Amino acid sequence: MVILKQTKDIQNFIAQQKAAGKRIGFIPTMGALHSGHISLVNKCVADNMLSVCSIFLNPTQFNDKKDLEKYPVSTEKDIELLLRAGCDVLFLPSAAEVYPGGSDLATTFDFGYLETVLEGATRPGHFKGVGQVVARLLDIVKPHTLYLGQKDYQQCMVIKELVHQLGNSSPVVTICPTTREADGLAMSSRNRRLTTPQRALAGIIYQCLVSIQAKQDNGNFDIVKKECEELLTAKGFVTEYVALANANDLTLLQQYTPDTPTVALIAARIGDIRLIDNILL
Ligand code: AMP
pLDDT reading at 155 higher than 80: yes
pLDDT of residue 59: 93
pLDDT reading at 199 higher than 90: yes
Rg (CA), the chain: 19
Report the distance separating Cα 125 and Cα 120, nearest Å: 7
Residue 280 lies in a domain: no
Report the distance separating Cα 26 and Cα 172, nearest Å: 10
- Determine whether the shortest distance from the Cβ of 232 to ligand 1 is under 6 A: no
Mean of the pLDDT values across residues 90-98?
96
Mean of the pLDDT values across residues 54-71?
92
Contact 189, 31 (CB under 8 A): yes
180-194 pLDDT, tens digit per residue, is 999 999 999 999 999
Residue 163 lies in a domain: yes
Higher pLDDT, 67 or 92: 92
207-254 pLDDT, tens digit per residue, is 999 999 999 998 899 999 999 999 999 999 999 999 999 999 999 999
Range of the domain at 213: 189-275
List Cα–Cα distances, 210 to 153, 174, 217, in angstroms.
Answer: 16, 24, 13
The verdict on 203 and 64 lying in the same domain is no
The verdict on 165 and 243 lying in the same domain is no
Nearest to 27 by CA among 89, 75, 79: 89
Residue 258 lies in a domain: yes
The verdict on 160 and 242 lying in the same domain is no
Residue 107 pLDDT grade (very low, low, confident, very high; cuts 50, 70, 90): confident
pLDDT reading at 126 higher than 90: yes
Report the distance separating Cα 129 and Cα 30, nearest Å: 13
What CATH number is attached to the domain comprising 154?
Answer: 3.40.50.620
List Cα–Cα distances, 254 to 62, 116, 153, 185, in angstroms.
Answer: 29, 18, 19, 25
Residue 184 lies in a domain: no
9-18 pLDDT, tens digit per residue, is 999 999 999 9
Sheet holding 24-29, edge to edge: 2-4, 89-91, 50-55, 24-29, 145-149, 172-176
pLDDT of residue 64: 86
The verdict on 75 and 172 lying in the same domain is yes
Residue 150 lies in a domain: yes
Mean of the pLDDT values across residues 50-69?
93
Identify the helix (H) or strand (E) that includes residue 24. Answer: strand 24-29
Mutate to test the pocket of ligand 1, among 37, 82, 123, 278 (most ligand atoms within 8 A of CB): 37
Residue 259 lies in a domain: yes
pLDDT of residue 136: 95
- Determine whether the shortest distance from the Cβ of 30 to ligand 1 is under 6 A: yes
Please, what is the end-to-end C-alpha distance for the chain in angstroms?
39
Report the distance separating Cα 98 and Cα 134, nearest Å: 10
Alpha helices in 86-234 (DSSP H): 95-98, 119-122, 126-141, 153-166, 196-201, 204-214, 221-234
User: What total number of domains does the chain contain?
Assistant: 2
The verdict on 72 and 127 lying in the same domain is yes
The verdict on 131 and 218 lying in the same domain is no
Q: Which residues are catalytic?
A: 37
The verdict on 256 and 204 lying in the same domain is yes
Residue 181 lies in a domain: no
The verdict on 63 and 146 lying in the same domain is yes
- Determine whether the shortest distance from the Cβ of 188 to ligand 1 is under 6 A: yes
pLDDT of residue 211: 97
- CA-27 nearest atom, ligand 1: 7
Nearest to 183 by CA among 210, 213, 217: 210
Please state, rounded to an integer, the average pLDDT across all residues of the chain.
Answer: 96
Domain end residue (candidates: 121, 155, 176):
176
What CATH number is attached to the domain comprising 262?
Answer: 3.30.1300.10
The verdict on 212 and 149 lying in the same domain is no
The verdict on 81 and 123 lying in the same domain is yes
Strand partners, 242: 266
